[in-house]
Amino acid sequence: VCSDGGDTIYVMDQLGDNGDDGSWLDEIIFRESVENLPEREKKILYLRFLKGKTQTEVAEEICISQAQVSRLEKNALKTMRNYLRP
């Protein structure tokens, strides 16, 4: 969960939804998609979507630029999307 400009953004909003909310199988697959990410990308997603930090705040915390956070976040979401929809 992330709040960006007043609107709440969920990780699944970024990945897309197939209309199967609440499915235990979807949750298992989602968790596996996260587990397959590099540690730095996991941390970025954790800080962004679970802690609600901005990209700038994440960048400061892990000592990289905001642009790098943006690229890594985008890559992580793309990787997860590809894992969820092979």
pLDDT per residue over 21-56, tens digit each? 557 777 788 888 889 899 999 999 999 988 999 999
What pLDDT score does 18 carry? 56
Band of residue 62 on the pLDDT scale cut at 50, 70, 90: very high
Q: Where are the alpha helices (DSSP H) in the chain?
A: 11-15, 24-35, 39-45, 55-62, 66-84
Highest mean pLDDT among 25-29, 58-62, 77-81: 58-62
Q: 3 in the Ramachandran plot: left (φ > 0), alpha (ψ -120 to 50) or beta?
A: beta
What pLDDT score does 28 carry? 82
Q: Where are the beta strands (DSSP E) in 1-86?
A: 2-4, 7-9
- Bridge partners of 9, per DSSP, are 2
